[in-house]
Amino acid sequence: MLTDRQQEIIDTSLEIISTIGIQGLTIKNLSKRIGISEPAIYRHYENKISILLAILDYFKSSGEQMFRKQVNVDDSPLKKIESIYEGHFLAFERNPSLVSVIFSEEIFRNEPILQEKIAEIMDRNSNVIKALVAEGQAKGEIKADIESKYLTLIIIGSLRMLVKKWQMGDKAFNHGEEVSKLFNTIKALIEVK
């Protein structure tokens, strides 16, 4: 578990990331915003990588929680995918820093530990969707003449693209509407009518 201060460090880090980007996440900025000195940070985390790792862990567990919540109800697979779509987007809306983290993979390139953790998170997300797609196909709800692998790619890729557009400051962007329209498009394409 995290101490109060550790949690504060993570929260503040996410705040910084969402406002000025992951580049702005320096120990100096972090300590300034919290209101303590730079070395004080090191009383709570060994080094900066530990902080980034904790951020990714937070990211991972909040995603897991959402999956658990949505996947257990006994909706149809397609409905579950829709819930995950909306759930993810809601999470991004509540915590825009998550978006920055998602697209910051390049920055973690020189740190194998971080890169591995990101790959792990992406893999797990991908597998959950893939399993749902396969289930939907088995139940005759989703077109079965198409490899689940590529359908999964399309589903995740388009969500990422939408988030990217949002992040890039596309004005006239009604979040809820865009998400549901995109999902409806996908649904219309892959559903067995």
Partner DNA sequence: GCAGAGTTAGTGAACATTAACTAACTTTGT
Partner DNA sequence: ACAAAGTTAGTTAATGTTCACTAACTCTGC
Q: Is 25 in the site for DNA (CB under 7 A)?
A: yes
If the CB atoms of residues 8 and 86 are measured against a copy of itself, the closer one turns out to be: 86
What is the spatial distance between Cα 65 and Cα 62, in angstroms, rounded to a whole number?
Answer: 5
Q: Is 69 in the site for DNA (CB under 7 A)?
A: no
- Binding segment for a copy of itself (CB under 8 A), chosen from 38-46, 47-55, 71-79, 184-192, is 184-192
Binding-site member from 26, 47, 127, 185 for a copy of itself (CB under 8 A): 185
Q: Angle CA(36)–CA(40)–CA(41) in degrees, nearest 5?
A: 95
If the CB atoms of residues 69 and 165 are measured against a copy of itself, the closer one turns out to be: 165
- List 191's β-bridge partners, or say none: 142
What is the spatial distance between Cα 73 and Cα 103, in angstroms, rounded to a whole number?
Answer: 30
Q: Is 42 in the site for DNA (CB under 7 A)?
A: yes
- The gap between the terminal CA atoms of the chain, to the nearest Å, is 48
Q: Estimate the crossing angle of helix 77-94 against helix 148-167, to 10 degrees.
A: 20
Taking the complex as a whole, the smallest distance from the CB of residue 149 to a copy of itself amounts, in Å, to 9
Q: Is 113 in the site for DNA (CB under 7 A)?
A: no
- Cα atoms in the Cβ-side hemisphere of radius 13 Å centred on 158: 16
Q: Is 131 in the site for a copy of itself (CB under 8 A)?
A: no
**Which stretches of the chain bind DNA, using CB under 7 A?**
3, 5, 25-29, 31, 35-40, 42-44, 47-49
**Which stretches of the chain bind a copy of itself, using CB under 8 A?**
20-24, 100, 103-107, 109-110, 119, 122, 143, 145-147, 150-151, 153-154, 156-162, 165, 168, 181-182, 185-186, 188-190
